[in-house]
Amino acid sequence: MDNIQIVIDGPAGAGKSTISKIVAEQLGFLYIDTGAMYRAVGLKALSLNYDTKNDSNLIAQLMDNIKIDLKHGDNGQQVFLDDKNVTAEIRTPEVSIAASDVSAIPAVRISLANIQRKLAKQNNIVMDGRDIGSYVLPNADIKIFLTASLEDRAKRRYNELLKKGKDVSFENVLSDMNYRDTNDSNRELAPLVVPDGAIVIDTTGNTLEQSIKLLSDTIKERLNCLLK
Ligand code: DC
């Protein structure tokens, strides 16, 4: 049998990466956080002082030479940009916005989608993102669309940032998330949509533990049917 592809799409802050990572560990599959790749491109554009909303041509050219590696070790997924570990650096609010901006550039999407498809060919994967089930791997074995209300997602992200000691206001987190939702859903190539055949899971009001259980039970049930 070919490698198994489990894909989890959804808007920012729905808990995709936290939950996908845990489910991948439970199954012994490779976890691939495609948002981290867009964040690495966003970080590179910012480090060159590019305007991430308007310098599309310059940012597209970056894709010819950029080196993005996701390495998996004891400390979880580590993200390397041009051989430098940027795992922490890509998680700032500025990089979130830059990632959303650069993700609207077709050359960036095409280049990252190629890397993602290669990874999926070589491993059993749990891959999360915005367009994995609709564009990158439309024939994936299991497709999930994980979502929650904007307010709930912003609250979760706000609490995460506070825990990391960041000085942020809830209003800013909410407005950044709203900006990203609009951006991610309205770009021309591969916007955020519910993929055909996806199971929609809404985690509004759930605790993280409840969401993890819901997702992991759903995936295991589907996987059992698939492997029968
Ligand atoms: O999942 P995340 O918040 O780390 O993603 C950062 C940005 O990257 C997000 O706003 C949109 C973009 N993205 C994308 O366009 N396609 C993906 N498959 C993953 C992320």
Does ligand 1 lie within 6 Å of residue 92's CB atom?
no
Residue whose CB lies within 8 A of the most ligand 1 atoms, among 33, 130, 137, 189, for a mutation test: 130
Whether residue 164 is contained in a domain is answered as yes
Distance, in Å, from the CA atom of 172 to the CA atom of 176, rounded to the nearest integer, reads: 6
Whether residue 137 is contained in a domain is answered as yes
Does ligand 1 lie within 6 Å of residue 95's CB atom?
no
Share of the chain above pLDDT 70, in %: 100
Distance, in Å, from the CA atom of 155 to the CA atom of 182, rounded to the nearest integer, reads: 18
Whether residue 34 is contained in a domain is answered as yes
Q: What is the CATH number of the domain that holds 12?
A: 3.40.50.300
Containing domain of residue 170, as a range?
A: 5-223
pTM: 0.93
Taking only the tens place, the pLDDT of each residue in 151-192 is 999 999 999 889 989 899 999 999 999 999 999 999 999 999
Taking only the tens place, the pLDDT of each residue in 47-105 is 999 999 999 999 999 999 999 999 988 778 899 999 999 999 999 999 999 999 999 99
Does ligand 1 lie within 6 Å of residue 10's CB atom?
no
Cβ(150)–Cβ(174) below 8 Å: yes
Distance, in Å, from the CA atom of 167 to the CA atom of 80, rounded to the nearest integer, reads: 26
Quote the number of domains for the chain: 1
Whether residue 29 is contained in a domain is answered as yes
Residue whose CB lies within 8 A of the most ligand 1 atoms, among 184, 185, 192, for a mutation test: 184
Whether residue 228 is contained in a domain is answered as no
Burial state string for 172-185 with b = 16 or more CB within 10 A and e = fewer than 16 = ebbebbeebbebbe
Does ligand 1 lie within 6 Å of residue 39's CB atom?
yes
Does ligand 1 lie within 6 Å of residue 35's CB atom?
yes
